[in-house]
Amino acid sequence: MAADEMGYRDYVAHRMDGLRRTAYLLCGDWHMADDLVSTALVKLLRHWRRISVMEQPDAYVRRMLLRAWLDEKRRPWRREHATAVLPDRATAVADSAERLTILAHLAELPPRRRAVLVLRYFCDLSVAETAEALGCSEGTVKSQTARALDALRARLVSVPTMEE
Amino acid sequence: MDHLSESLRLAAAEPPPSGIDLDGLIEGEDRARRHRQWFVAGGAAALVMVAVVATVAVAGGLVPRSAGYGVGGAGPAATSTKPDPGGQPEALGKCTAVLPTPTSTSPTDPGKRQVDNAPTLKPAPTEPRKEAILRLSTVLNRALPTVLPAANFADEVHPNCAQIQFAPDVYPALYYASMVVKDTAGVGSITVMISQAHEGAENDFGRGQDPGSGLYDSHEVRTDGTMVGWLSGAPGEGSQVGVLRKDGTYLTLLSQNENKPGDTNPIRPTPPATAEQLIAIGTDPGLTLYP
- How do beta strands B227-232 and B239-244 pair? antiparallel
Q: What DSSP designation does A118 have?
A: I
| Residue B234 touches partner A, C-beta closer than 8 Å | yes
Same domain, A113 and A151: yes
- The predicted-structure confidence for B104-117, as pLDDT tens digits, reads as follows 333 333 333 333 33
Kindly list the residues from chain A whose CB atom is less than 8 angstroms away from the CB atom of residue B22.
9, 12, 41
Residues facing B153 on adjacent strands:
B81, B181
Name which residue leads in pLDDT, A20 or B209: A20
Residues A12 and A72 in one domain: yes
Contact call for B18 and A16, based on CB within 8 A: yes
Enter the pTM of the model. Answer: 0.45
Count of C-beta atoms within a 10 Å radius of residue A119: 26
Q: Is position A90 within any domain?
A: no
Q: Which carries the bigger pLDDT value, residue A2 or residue B156?
A: B156
Separation between Cα atoms, residue B98 and residue B32, nearest integer Å: 23
Q: Which of A88-97, A103-112, B47-56, B199-208 has the highest mean pLDDT?
A: A103-112
Q: Model confidence at B171, in pLDDT bands (50, 70, 90)?
A: low
Q: Which pLDDT tens digit goes with each residue over B114-126?
A: 333 344 456 778 8
**b/e per residue A136-150 (b: at least 16 CB within 10 A):** bbeebbeebbebbbe
**Percent of residues, chain A, with pLDDT higher than 90:** 7
In-domain check, residue A85: no
- pLDDT at B147 exceeding the cut of 80: yes
Q: Look at B102 and B171; give whichever has higher pLDDT.
A: B171
What CA–CA distance (Å, rounded) separates B175 from B249?
Answer: 11
Condensed to tens digits (0 to 9), the pLDDT of residues B70-87 reads 333 333 333 445 555 444
Cα torsion A127, A128, A130, A134: sign = positive
| CB-based contact, B230 to chain A, within 8 Å | no
Interface probe with A: pick from B18, B36, B218, most Cβ of A within 10 Å: B18
Helix (H) or strand (E) holding B218: strand B218-221
Beta-carbon contacts of residue B18 (< 8 Å; ≥ 6 apart): A16, A20, A34
Contact yes or no for A137 and B22 at CB 8 A: no
> Which residue range(s) make up the domain with A116?
95-164
Same domain, A57 and A11: yes
Shared domain for A99 and A146, answered yes or no, is yes
A99, A73: one domain: no
Are residues A158 and B3, on separate chains, in Cβ contact within 8 Å?
A: yes
Among A87-101, B44-58, B231-245, the least confident range: A87-101
- A72 and A133 part of one domain: no
B182 contacts A76 by C-beta, under 8 angstroms:
no
**What is the CATH classification number for the domain harbouring A14?**
1.10.1740
Q: Classify residue A88: in a domain, yes or no.
A: no
The helix (run of H) or strand (run of E) holding residue A88 is none
* Domain stop point among A78, A110, A126: A78
- Is B19 in Cβ contact with A34 (below 8 Å)? yes
Domain presence at residue A117? yes
- State the average pLDDT over residues B126-142: 90
In a domain, A151, yes or no: yes
Residues of chain A neighbouring B237 (CB-CB closer than 8 A): 135-136, 140
Q: Does residue A84 belong to any structural domain of this protein?
A: no
Distance between CA atoms of B178 and B125, rounded to whole angstroms?
Answer: 22
Looking at the structure, tell me whether residues A64 and A111 fall in a common domain. no
SS3 B179: strand
B258 or B239, which is more confident?
B239
The pLDDT tens digits of the residues spanning B200-249 come to: 778 778 765 555 556 777 788 889 889 998 876 555 567 788 899 988 89
First CA to last CA distance, chain A: 49
Cα B255 to Cα A39: distance, rounded to the nearest angstrom: 22
**What is the arithmetic mean of pLDDT over A134-149?**
86
Lowest pLDDT segment from A13-22, A32-41, B88-97, B233-242 = B88-97
Within this chain, do residues A4 and A67 fall inside the same structural domain, yes or no? Answer: yes
Domain count, chain A: 2
- Smallest Cβ–Cβ distance between A102 and the set B1, B7, B250 belongs to B7
- Single residue among A26, A49, A78 that ends a domain in this structure: A78
Q: What is the CATH number of the domain that holds A114?
A: 1.10.10.10
Higher pLDDT, A88 or A75: A75
Among B87, B96, B82, which residue's Cα sits nearest to residue B179?
Answer: B82
A60 lies in the same domain as A107: no
Nearest residue of A to residue B202 by CA position?
A76
Confidence (pLDDT) at A103: 82
Q: Is residue A54 part of a domain?
A: yes
Same domain? For A128 and A63 the reply is no
Give, for B128, the enclosing helix (H) or strand (E). none
